[in-house]
Amino acid sequence: MNLIDGKAISKKILQETRAEVEALKARGHTPGLAVVLIGDDPASRSYVRSKDRTCSELGMFSQKFEMPSSTTQAELVALVQQLNQDSRIHGILVQSPPPAHIDEGAVIEAIDPRKDVDGFHPVNVAKVALGAPDAFVPCTPLGCQRLLLEAGIQTAGAHAVVLGRSMIVGKPMALLLMQKGPGGDATVTVAHSRTRDLAALCRSADILIAAIGKPEFVTADFVKEGAVVIDVGINRVLDPSAPNGSKLVGDVAFAAVAPKCKAITPVPGGVGPMTIAMLMANTVQACKRLTA
């Protein structure tokens, strides 16, 4: 069993990105990312801090907007429109999920697609489906594809099962694996909670991408011998033996599944670090395009 080390691979990507930032700065352009957080969800706050810190480590310009949960839809859209016009900002990210009274879809549509480094704007969703080279791909599936490439996993001709159908991971992941070229050319099945005989279908996968959002849902009987498993899940579960009473686990029951795998990502330290690395890479791409 080969452990796919997301920490090490993300470090490599961040080094590449730092070199690109320096090259852009030499031409008088500093990539800029604006992150907007509404409310005080602790997990979201932690993500925002880590994005902010990574920006400064790479020498990028970063602006953080922390807004109260009472912020109205109109106020949020007004801020997004202001950032669309700000030439220092090349990437705009509104941290998900927003409070219940905010229409997240409308906020995403207000972002200039050229600054939509999260890849959720309908224009970018369509471009990913079309295989357009200037599409912004959502960071988590893009990170999963990069893990497969860096680990030398052959996707061409492989049967890939994507477990989960969200717009954030499942659907774009399936599109990436189907596209022509490196990290693509797979035969893809998208499975979900309503799929019949789910375990048997997953067992047919050469590559299984688990993004169903249920802790340790994928057990050993979901995985065939020699499969590659990418675990997208990040779930906090109670663990009385842990110092703070809880621990992070994936959507895969790692201890039971890992011995059957040709390669597998751990949680934490697998897909998680890749998401932020790809966000930084997308922001640098946005800067290049907007300053070309």
Q: Is 81 a catalytic residue?
A: no
- Please state whether 140 falls in left (phi above 0), alpha (psi between -120 and 50) or beta: alpha
Catalytic annotation, pick one of 118, 206, 231, 251 = 118
Q: Is 127 a catalytic residue?
A: no
DSSP the chain: -EE--HHHHHHHHHHHHHHHHHHHHHTT---EEEEEEES--HHHHHHHHHHHHHHHHHT-EEEEEEE-TT--HHHHHHHHHHHHH-TT--EEEEPSSPPTTS-HHHHHHHS-GGG-TTS-SHHHHHHHHHT-TTPPPPHHHHHHHHHHHHTT---TT-EEEEE---TTTHHHHHHHHHSSSTT---EEEEE-TT-TTHHHHHHT-SEEEE-S-STT-B-GGG--TTEEEEE---EEEE-TTSTTSEEEE-SB-HHHHGGGEEEE--SSSSHHHHHHHHHHHHHHHHHHHHT-
Q: Is 12 a catalytic residue?
A: no
What positions carry a catalytic annotation?
51, 95, 118
